[in-house]
């Protein structure tokens, strides 16, 4: 349905939680290397529970490689630096929702090159950022709401 892209994720239980969200929403999970953990990590597996076999996971050596694989893809970048809100996008099935690493977010040059496709989730001003796995859930469920949760119960 949607494509969730994690660029260089660092914390295994975040990626495990996100894998569970992907299983629940029929989203494909794209993991862009380098990863900050082993794919055998016990926290990664535990956070994803027994849902791992229900998720399509695709690994990419770097972000450029991923973009070249999907030349027709529509890419939306999630960052605290986005000038517009995430719910202002009109999402379509197959869209790529791109999230940054826990410590540093998405690379500055990627954000600079994609300003008009970069969106933020509103927060009170004194807060630096939301947890990565929470942002994925917020955005993918907004995207699904817009397409009216096809086949969901
Ligand atoms: C913990 S945050 C990274 C924090 C980093 N200092 C920054 O400002 O980007 C990890 C990722 O979660 C997503 N994220 C967290 N809070 C967000 C927000 N309010 N709006 C949009 N994306 C957010 C972004 O994709 C970000 O790259």
For the chain, the C-alpha Rg in angstroms (whole number) is 15
Kindly report the average pLDDT of the chain as a whole number.
Answer: 95
- Distance separating alpha carbons of residues 97 and 148, to the nearest angstrom: 18
Q: Give the chain's residues under pLDDT 70.
A: none
Question: Which DSSP symbol is given to 27?
Answer: P
- Distance separating alpha carbons of residues 153 and 149, to the nearest angstrom: 8
Compute the distance from residue 103 Cα to the ligand 1 centre, in Å.
Answer: 9
- Distance separating alpha carbons of residues 120 and 82, to the nearest angstrom: 5
Task: Kindly report the three-state secondary structure assignment for every residue of 116-130.
Answer: HHEEECCCCCCCCCC
- Residue whose tokens read 């992907």: 22
Compute the distance from residue 36 Cα to the ligand 1 centre, in Å.
Answer: 17
| Model-level ipTM above the cut of 0.95 | yes
pLDDT, residue 46, reads: 81
pTM confidence score: 0.97
- Residue whose tokens read 């994609």: 114
In the chain the domains, ranked by start, together with CATH numbers, are 3-147 (3.40.1280.10)
């Amino acid at each position: 349905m949607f494509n969730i892209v994690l660029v260089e994720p660092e914390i295994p239980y975040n990626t495990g939680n996100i894998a569970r969200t992907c299983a629940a929403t029929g989203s494909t999970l794209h993991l862009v290397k380098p990863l900050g953990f082993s794919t055998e990590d016990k926290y990664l597996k535990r956070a994803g529970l027994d849902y791992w076999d229900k998720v399509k996971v695709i690994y990419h050596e770097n972000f450029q490689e991923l973009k070249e694989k999907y030349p027709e893809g529509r890419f939306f970048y999630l960052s605290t630096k986005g000038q517009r809100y995430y719910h202002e996008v009109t999402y379509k099935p197959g869209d790529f929702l791109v999230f940054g690493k826990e410590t540093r977010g998405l690379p500055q040059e990627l954000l600079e090159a994609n300003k008009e496709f970069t969106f933020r989730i509103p927060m009170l001003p004194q807060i630096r950022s939301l947890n990565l796995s929470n942002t994925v859930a917020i955005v993918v469920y907004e995207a699904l709401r817009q397409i009216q949760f096809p086949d969901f119960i």
